[in-house]
């Protein structure tokens, strides 16, 4: 550390220099006040040890001059003098000296005071360095603050302005140095931002009390009468002891952002509306599609039914005519046979009478005819014929009756049907449907019927027959070689219950819930449409009924249909795709 010794007496100077050079490396000397000042300016010593009494410029004046000069670093000044009056000591300190050493000096004391000086200089240097750092970071902070578009001001508890950034300066009257330290409310331009004059005080007070950051939205009209929206964030700034020192208020103009938000919100709402409309439309489309699929399926099936109906009606008509005359001829034949029988009886009586007469009494020709009649009777076994003819006629009658019945069933089954519900006899429907599909069934299954006494059901008979047919055909198809099909009907709790069971291959549990789905089939491509059960389901639902399936793989399947007994359901219920299936 550079030390300057100022002493006019050469002996004292030499002695002092000698003494101090033992501990100090950088010593500068001067013998007059003026020389001392020159050296001071040139060498910038950190410690000056100066005699009071000096030629040209006294040590006290040198001291004053140094203190009056702005220096980069602090200089520690020790005045040495033989003057020891109290006023002299006071004069020394008033002139700006840091210490005072009485002459003649004691070297140890001087060294001790020098050390104190060095310590103080060190502290002073540290302090200066810290201050520089502080200033640098303050400047940095201010630069950042100034670069921000947000208005930032800091106020103390009395709402005096502590600091302010460039953006906020725009709404202030005066320069930076003019406004800092002044009451904030009085500095604001009459621009229209009323916040600083109206709400600030209360919010700052709250921030001091709650010590919490607060955010408020503020709307006002500016000088051009346009609405401005600002977001104000009040941040309490605390010292180490946790006390709020200042409150920093950051004001952000969010008018544009707010407008954009509003626009986005509006657009979002529109979007939501559109998307919900889309979802609705989609749902409608989906259900329309499902309905279409169903309708298509039903149409397919009804077309099939219609063509079966047409065919059956044609066949029935064609069969009806010949059956009619066969049946009436058989009746006539029966009558004829009766007449002929009676005649044969007369002939036979005549023959017996002739035979009882003596042969001489009869002409040869008659005798020959009697013999011929007898032989012919034996040959043709007239007794058998007479008995058999009756049986044959009875059989023929039965046959034609059966033909009539089948034709009736066909007509009943395939009748185009009315377009409104009518009283329907379920047992009759089952019987005629069974007769129609019997050909499909008879080689594979024996059919057992247990049909109970049933009230009428209000419905579309042909459609219900279609359900029975679909179930019966499936049942027959499920039986590999031979099995049983049981048809039972019963009135259960005012519901007509139809159960159709088979001993076929059954339905696997994973297929069971899909049995009523349109187009679900386990049959080979081209063999099954997978519509039979779906149509059955829809028809039963239309009749406000229920259809369920129970099945055990490998053992068989039972379809249970329940229909409201004798009830007029009014408007037919719309088909519901939801289904119940249980294993």
Q: Where are the beta strands (DSSP E) in 157-285?
A: 161-164, 214-221, 227-238, 244-253
The partner in contact with residue 507, picked from Mg ion, ligand ATP, none with C-beta cut-offs of 5 to 8 angstroms by kind, is: ligand ATP
Euclidean distance between CA atoms 206 and 224, whole angstroms: 32
* Full DSSP string of 500-548: EEE-S----TTTGGGTTSTT---SPTTT--S-HHHHHHHHHHHTT-EEE
Q: Which residues is 546 bridged to in the sheet?
A: 562
Residue 305 engages ligand ATP in binding (rule: CB under 6 A): no
Q: Which residues is 220 bridged to in the sheet?
A: 228
Residue closer to ligand ATP, measured from CB, 290 or 402: 290
Residue 523 engages ligand ATP in binding (rule: CB under 6 A): yes
194 Cβ contact list (under 8 Å, min separation 6) = 220
Residue 33 engages Mg ion in binding (rule: CB under 5 A): no
CA atoms within 13 A on the CB side of 57: 17
Residue closer to ligand ATP, measured from CB, 532 or 545: 532
Tell me how far, at minimum, the Cβ of 291 lies from Mg ion, in Å.
Answer: 22
Place of tokens 């023959």: 351
CB atoms within 10 A of CB 174: 12
Q: Which of 253, 240, 153 is nearest to 203 (CA)?
A: 153
Residue 309 engages Mg ion in binding (rule: CB under 5 A): no
Residue 199 engages ligand ATP in binding (rule: CB under 6 A): no
Residue 462 engages Mg ion in binding (rule: CB under 5 A): no
Euclidean distance between CA atoms 122 and 128, whole angstroms: 10
Tell me the per-residue interface mask from 497 to 536 with Mg ion, x by CB under 5 A, - otherwise.
-----------------------------------x----
Residue 520 engages ligand ATP in binding (rule: CB under 6 A): yes
Query: What is the number of the residue whose Cβ is closest to Mg ion?
Result: 532
Tell me how far, at minimum, the Cβ of 487 lies from ligand ATP, in Å.
Answer: 13
Q: Is 412 exposed, middle or buried (0-12, 13-18, 19+ CB in 10 A)?
A: buried
Footprint on residues 101-140 left by Mg ion (CB under 5 A)? none
Q: Which region, judged by CB under 6 A, interacts with ligand ATP, from 70-78, 106-114, 323-331, 519-527?
A: 519-527
Residue 529 engages ligand ATP in binding (rule: CB under 6 A): yes
CB atoms within 10 A of CB 251: 21
The partner in contact with residue 557, picked from Mg ion, ligand ATP, none with C-beta cut-offs of 5 to 8 angstroms by kind, is: ligand ATP
Residue 515 engages ligand ATP in binding (rule: CB under 6 A): yes
DSSP state, 578? -
CA dist 96 → 34, 57, 63, 476 (Å): 18, 15, 6, 127
Q: Which of 366, 339, 344, 343 is nearest to 355 (CA)?
A: 366
Q: Which of 467, 578, 444, 454 is nearest to 533 (CA)?
A: 467
Query: What is the number of the residue whose Cβ is closest to ligand ATP?
Result: 532
Residue 474 engages Mg ion in binding (rule: CB under 5 A): yes
* Of the residues 513, 530, 564, 577, which one makes contact with ligand ATP according to CB under 6 A: 530
Q: Which region, judged by CB under 6 A, interacts with ligand ATP, from 151-159, 195-203, 321-329, 524-532?
A: 524-532
Residue closer to Mg ion, measured from CB, 255 or 558: 558
Q: Are 521 and 530 in contact (CB under 8 A)?
A: yes
The partner in contact with residue 475, picked from ligand ATP, Mg ion, none with C-beta cut-offs of 5 to 8 angstroms by kind, is: ligand ATP
Start-to-end Cα distance in the chain? 105
3-state SS assignment for residue 36: helix
3-state SS assignment for residue 455: coil
Tell me how far, at minimum, the Cβ of 530 lies from Mg ion, in Å.
Answer: 8
3-state SS assignment for residue 264: helix
Q: Which region, judged by CB under 5 A, interacts with Mg ion, from 142-150, 327-335, 410-418, 468-476?
A: 468-476
User: Residue 459: which H helix or E strand, with range?
Assistant: strand 457-459
* Full DSSP string of 301-355: HHHHHHHHHHHHHHHHHHHHHHHHHHHHHHHHHHHHHHHHHHHHHHHHHHHHHHH
Tell me the per-residue interface mask from 549 to 568 with ligand ATP, x by CB under 6 A, - otherwise.
--------x-----------
Residue 557 engages Mg ion in binding (rule: CB under 5 A): no
Tell me how far, at minimum, the Cβ of 520 lies from Mg ion, in Å.
Answer: 10
* Of the residues 522, 552, 580, 582, which one makes contact with ligand ATP according to CB under 6 A: 522
Footprint on residues 423-482 left by ligand ATP (CB under 6 A)? 470, 474-475, 478
Place of tokens 């005071």: 113
Q: Which region, judged by CB under 6 A, interacts with ligand ATP, from 275-283, 317-325, 381-389, 528-536?
A: 528-536
Residue closer to ligand ATP, measured from CB, 410 or 536: 536
Residue 498 engages ligand ATP in binding (rule: CB under 6 A): no
Q: How many residues belong to the site for ligand ATP (CB under 6 A)? A: 22
Residue 29 engages ligand ATP in binding (rule: CB under 6 A): no
Residue 74 engages ligand ATP in binding (rule: CB under 6 A): no
Residues making contact with ligand ATP (CB under 6 A)? 470, 474-475, 478, 502, 504-507, 515, 520-523, 528-534, 557
Residues making contact with Mg ion (CB under 5 A)? 474, 532
């Amino acid at each position: 550390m550079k030390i300057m010794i100022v002493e006019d007496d050469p002996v004292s100077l030499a002695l002092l220099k000698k003494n101090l050079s033992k501990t100090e490396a950088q010593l500068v000397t001067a013998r007059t006040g003026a020389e001392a000042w020159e050296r001071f300016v040139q060498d910038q010593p950190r410690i000056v040890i100066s005699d009071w009494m000096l030629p040209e410029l006294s040590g006290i004046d040198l001291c004053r001059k140094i203190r009056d000069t702005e220096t980069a670093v602090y200089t520690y000044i020790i005045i040495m003098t033989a003057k020891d009056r109290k006023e002299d000591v006071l004069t020394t300190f008033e002139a700006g000296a840091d210490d005072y050493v009485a002459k003649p000096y004691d070297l140890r004391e001087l060294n001790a005071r020098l050390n104190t000086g060095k310590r103080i200089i060190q502290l002073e240097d540290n302090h200066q360095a810290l201050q520089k750092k502080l200033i640098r970071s303050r400047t940095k902070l201010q630069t950042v603050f100034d670069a921000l578009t947000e208005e930032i001001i800091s106020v103390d508890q009395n709402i005096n302005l502590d600091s302010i950034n460039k953006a906020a300066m725009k709404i202030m009257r005066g320069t930076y140095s003019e406004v800092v330290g002044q009451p904030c409310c009085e500095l604001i331009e009459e621009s229209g931002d009323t916040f600083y004059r109206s709400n600030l005080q209360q919010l700052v007070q709250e921030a001091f009390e709650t010590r919490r950051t607060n955010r408020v939205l503020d709307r006002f009209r500016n000088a051009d009468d346009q609405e401005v929206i600002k977001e104000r964030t009040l941040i309490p700034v605390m010292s180490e002891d946790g006390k709020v020192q200042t409150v920093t208020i950051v004001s952000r103009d969010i008018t544009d952002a707010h407008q954009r938000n509003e626009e986005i919100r509006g657009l979002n709402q529109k979007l939501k509306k559109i998307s919900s409309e889309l979802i609705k439309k989609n749902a409608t489309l989906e259900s329309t599609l499902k309905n279409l699929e169903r309708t298509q399926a039903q149409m397919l099936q009804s077309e099939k039914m219609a063509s079966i109906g047409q065919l059956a009606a044609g066949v029935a008509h064609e069969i009806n005519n010949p059956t009619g005359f066969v049946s009436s001829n058989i009746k006539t034949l029966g009558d004829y046979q009766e007449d002929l029988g009676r005649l044969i009886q007369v002939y036979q009586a005549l023959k017996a009478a002739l035979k009882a007469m003596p042969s001489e009494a009869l002409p040869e020709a008659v005798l020959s005819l009697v013999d011929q009649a007898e032989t012919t009777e034996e040959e043709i076994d007239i007794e058998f014929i007479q008995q058999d003819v009756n049986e044959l006629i009875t059989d023929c009658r039965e046959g034609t009756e059966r033909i009539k019945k089948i034709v009736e069933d066909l007509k009943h089954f395939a009748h185009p049907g009315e377009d409104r519900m009518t009283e329907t006899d379920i047992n009759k429907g089952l019987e005629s449907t069974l007769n129609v599909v019997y050909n499909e069934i008879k080689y594979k299954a024996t059919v057992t019927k247990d049909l109970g006494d049933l009230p009428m059901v209000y419905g579309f008979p042909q459609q219900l027959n279609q359900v029975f047919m679909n179930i019966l055909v499936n049942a027959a198809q499920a039986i590999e070689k031979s099995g049983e099909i049981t048809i039972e009907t019963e009135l259960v709790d005012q519901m007509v219950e139809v159960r159709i069971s088979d001993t076929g291959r059954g339905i696997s549990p994973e297929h069971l819930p899909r049995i009523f789905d349109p187009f679900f089939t386990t049959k080979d491509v081209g063999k099954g449409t997978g519509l039979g059960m779906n149509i059955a389901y829809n028809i039963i639902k239309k009749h406000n009924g229920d259809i369920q399936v129970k099945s055990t793989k490998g053992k068989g399947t039972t379809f249970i249909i329940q229909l409201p007994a004798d009830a007029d359901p009014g408007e037919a219920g719309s088909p519901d795709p939801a289904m119940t299936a249980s294993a």
